């Protein structure tokens, strides 16, 4: 039997099972009333997307989600004055936003090798996105020094990362672009990647630990061959999501409208597999 995500089941989930705790852990409570929220709503059977919304308190937000049975729930940046539906946030003063990343298995369709085509998750394809997440996580910590990094299963075929160190909220689009370009180099930049970056890629993607001896003796031959094979696997970040400061991202703990899965926090990127994330039906039995 095909399970359908009805407004009634969503209302029940958001009124009795949902918690804003994971979101508050990431965005904090300061200036909550200035935060933009957006929702996919079901009105008389039709879907409608609204944004430019804000709420005075977390409980008002949850109340709204429960009352309307939102089909999708998203959070954006902070603005002054607080967003309101009658006015686009682009007309308001932007005052801050965490640094976010979106990794999706669909972006690796051209290098899948399982033979099952695109648009799916399988154990053979999943490491493409899991390795990219581990690589991104380590790069953010070791090369940029970020400490508050939270990972969530996106609800379908990938991960969302929230970097919530205070300084990230002040980054303009130029800084965000510089960070994403360092992590996801363009084709022509791949020949000039820093050595630490190359070592990390070999360690995570091939489990090869590059020692100094190997570097001296073999880098030009064997290591270079391995390296050329993993170039394609480097993180393929949806750059627009990271760079555009007004973009919305799914609220942690909310339900993915296409799968019914919960946007779940992931503590261990290496062992996580999408089947581990609960869906709304399994939670409400
Ligand atoms: Zn596959």
Reported confidence tier of residue 207, pLDDT bands at 50, 70, 90? confident
Task: Give distance in angstroms: CA of 118 to centre of ligand 1.
Answer: 8
What's the gap between Cα 249 and its chain centre?
A: 8
Catalytic entry in 8, 43, 47, 104: 104
Query: What was the pLDDT predicted at 20?
Result: 96
Residue 36 known to be catalytic: yes
Task: Give distance in angstroms: CA of 191 to centre of ligand 1.
Answer: 29
Buried b or exposed e, range 105-118, using 16+ CB within 10 angstroms: bbbbeeebeeeeee
Using an 8 Å Cβ cutoff, are 72 and 40 in contact?
A: yes
Q: What is the mean pLDDT of residues 31-50?
A: 94
Task: Give distance in angstroms: CA of 196 to centre of ligand 1.
Answer: 30
Q: Which residues face 163 on adjacent strands?
A: 99, 149
Task: Give distance in angstroms: CA of 192 to centre of ligand 1.
Answer: 31
DSSP H or E stretch at residue 48: strand 46-53
Q: Report the percentage of the chain scoring pLDDT > 70.
A: 94
CB within 8 Å of 273: residues ≥ 6 apart? 123, 126
Q: What is the mean pLDDT of residues 127-136?
A: 95
Residue 8 known to be catalytic: no
In CATH terms, 1-184+235-285 corresponds, of 3.30.2230.10, 3.40.50.300, 3.90.920.10, 3.40.50.740, to 3.90.920.10
Using an 8 Å Cβ cutoff, are 260 and 254 in contact?
A: no
Beta strands in 54-117 (DSSP E): 72-80, 93-96, 99-104
Find the angle CA(12)-CA(41)-CA(103) to the nearest 5 degrees: 95
Q: Which of 8-22, 110-124, 140-154, 224-238 has the lowest mean pLDDT?
A: 224-238
Task: Give distance in angstroms: CA of 185 to centre of ligand 1.
Answer: 25
Catalytic entry in 36, 98, 107, 238: 36
List Cα–Cα distances, 143 to 138, 175, 182, 183, in angstroms: 8, 15, 10, 10
Query: What was the pLDDT predicted at 214?
Result: 67
3-state class percentages of the chain: helix first, strand second, coil last, to nearest 5: 45, 20, 35
Query: CA 173, CA 225: separation in Å to the nearest integer?
Result: 36
Residue spans per domain, the chain = 1-184+235-285
The chain-wide mean pLDDT, for the chain, equals: 92
Task: Give distance in angstroms: CA of 108 to centre of ligand 1.
Answer: 10
Task: Give distance in angstroms: CA of 274 to centre of ligand 1.
Answer: 13
- Record the pTM: 0.93
Residue 21 known to be catalytic: no
Catalytic entry in 102, 107, 137, 238: 102
Q: What is the mean pLDDT of residues 111-137?
A: 93
């Amino acid at each position: 039997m095909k399970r359908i995500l009805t407004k009634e089941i969503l209302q029940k989930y958001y009124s009795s099972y949902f918690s804003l705790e994971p979101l508050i852990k990431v965005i904090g409570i300061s200036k909550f009333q200035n935060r933009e929220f957006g929702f996919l709503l079901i009105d008389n059977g039709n879907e409608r997307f609204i944004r430019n919304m804000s709420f005075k308190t977390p409980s008002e937000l949850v109340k709204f989600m429960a009352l309307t049975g939102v089909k999708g729930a998203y959070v954006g940046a902070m603005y002054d004055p607080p967003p309101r539906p009658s006015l686009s946030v682009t007309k308001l003063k932007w005052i801050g936003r965490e640094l976010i990343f979106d990794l999706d298995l669909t972006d690796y369709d051209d290098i899948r090798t399982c033979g099952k085509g695109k648009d799916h998750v399988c154990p053979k394809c999943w490491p493409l996105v899991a390795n990219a997440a581990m690589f991104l996580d380590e790069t953010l910590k070791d090369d940029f020094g970020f400490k508050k990094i939270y990972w969530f299963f996106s609800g379908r075929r990938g991960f969302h990362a929230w970097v919530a160190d205070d300084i990230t909220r002040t980054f303009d689009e130029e800084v965000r672009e510089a960070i994403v370009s360092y992590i996801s180099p363009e084709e022509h930049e791949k020949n000039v990647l820093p050595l630490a970056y190359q070592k990390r890629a070999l360690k995570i993607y091939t489990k090869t630990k590059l020692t100094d001896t190997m570097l001296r003796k073999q880098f030009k031959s064997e290591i270079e061959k391995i390296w050329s094979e993993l170039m394609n696997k480097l993180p393929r970040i949806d750059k627009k999501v990271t760079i555009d400061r007004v973009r919305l991202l799914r609220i942690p703990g909310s339900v993915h409208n296409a799968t019914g899965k919960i946007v779940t926090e992931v503590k261990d990127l290496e062992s996580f597999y999408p089947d581990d994330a609960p869906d709304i039906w399994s939670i409400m039995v």
